[in-house]
Amino acid sequence: MATGRNHRPATTRSRGIPEATVARLPLYLRALTALSERSVPTVSSEELAAAAGVNSAKLRKDFSYLGSYGTRGVGYDVEYLVYQISRELGLTQDWPVVIVGIGNLGAALANYGGFASRGFRVAALIDADPSLTGRLVAGIEVQHTDGLEQIIDESGVSIGVIATPAGSAQQVCDRLVAAGITSILNFAPTVLSVPDGVDVRKVDLSIELQILAFHEQRKAGEEAPEEEETAPPAAPPAAAVSKRPEPGSDGDRPAVMPA
Ligand SMILES: NC(=O)c1ccc[n+]([C@@H]2O[C@H](COP(=O)([O-])OP(=O)(O)OC[C@H]3O[C@@H](n4cnc5c(N)ncnc54)[C@H](O)[C@@H]3O)[C@@H](O)[C@H]2O)c1
């Protein structure tokens, strides 16, 4: 039996829960919250797995890391699981968030009500454009980047969201880290380098679209009538070709979607 260290899944620093399990916890939580809103008291692992889009054996394994095994014939207690997963994800406390770069995306994020309802309170909005300073976005005053360190210090923020053009993202990241931020959500299409102890999550909708384009292309290939197989190969769809700019270039546009 393979018990060597190399076969162990990557785990979180705190309680040895595999990272892959942590990544699925928000999916379970979203499905459970929907059940809770419909006042559903219990749910079977199969039902919950289907609602979360996860294999049920994987779900049971994931929940075993939380010490939650459900009751045979009854299933899992929805409210208790919501509490357990929220606690595990650190959502039973308020997480103040700073958004840097209040353009189209930053303003949309600031206005998104779903953050606050999940415990992420937008505590500060920062932008380098002086014409935005003092402007109200989602009821919060935009502040200038000159005061970034002081704003972070005073607002007790622990999570930074970067929504600046790619060319500014590393510099913004460096300042956030120097100011004490240890978790960054990066929307800019560039790879950030950070010191040990700082977690970066990257969101890139264009990558998701490229993956969908890949599947669409495969589906089209599977459905194509036989005679088409002899036709000359078509030019690859635009989304399959990486147009992503090199980090440091002026590219602040995702490969597929206009920024
Ligand atoms: N991840 C995704 O799926 C996704 C989707 C859309 C856009 N984006 C990216 O998000 C970023 C923002 O897009 P947008 O459409 O909102 O752009 P935008 O031009 O509307 O907004 C960018 C804002 O950043 C500010 N800014 C520039 N340099 C700064 C700095 N050093 N410090 C603080 N603020 C600074 C600008 O003043 C501007 O207000 C871009 O990098 C874009 O490519 C990502």
Write out pLDDT tens, residues 31-62.
Answer: 999 999 999 999 999 999 999 999 999 999 99
Cα separation values, 231 from 156, 179, 215, 224, 251, Å: 62, 59, 21, 11, 36
Contacts of residue 242, Cβ cutoff 8 Å, sequence gap at least 6? 210, 255
Does the CB atom of residue 103 touch ligand 1 within 6 A? yes
Q: Which residue has the higher pLDDT, 256 or 213?
A: 213
Please enumerate in sequence order all residues whose Cβ is within 8 A of that of 89, keeping only pairs 6 or more positions apart, or say none.
22, 25, 26, 29
Evaluate the CA torsion angle 128, 133, 135, 136 in order and state its sign.
positive
Query: Could you report the per-residue pLDDT of 146-187, keeping only the tens digit for each?
Result: 999 999 999 989 899 999 999 999 999 999 999 999 999 999
Q: Is the CB of 187 under 6 A from ligand 1?
A: yes
Structure tokens at 61: 């394994």
**CATH 1.10.10.10 domain residues, the chain:** 6-88
- Does ligand 1 have an atom closer than 6 angstroms to the CB of 251? no
| Binding site listing | 101-106
Instruction: Return all residues near 155 (Cβ < 8 A) that are at least 6 apart.
Output: 96, 98, 123, 124
- The CATH code belonging to domain 95-202 is 3.40.50.720
Measure 193 CA to ligand 1 centroid, in angstroms: 18
Q: pLDDT category, 226, cuts 50, 70, 90?
A: low
pLDDT at 116: 81
pLDDT confidence of residue 106: 97
CATH number corresponding to 6-88: 1.10.10.10
Q: State in Å: Cα 132 to ligand 1 middle.
A: 13
**Mean of the pLDDT values across residues 210-239?**
67
* pTM for the full predicted model: 0.71
Residues spanned by CATH 3.40.50.720 within the chain?
Answer: 95-202
Cβ of residue 108 lying under 6 Å from some atom of ligand 1: no
What ipTM describes this predicted complex? 0.98
87 pLDDT above the threshold of 60:
yes
Residue 73 has pLDDT above 60, yes or no: yes
Nearest CA to ligand 1 atom 39: 103
Other Cβ atoms within 10 Å of 69 Cβ, number: 11
Q: Tell me the mean pLDDT in the region 5-29.
A: 73
102-111, 179-188, 208-217: lowest mean pLDDT where?
A: 208-217
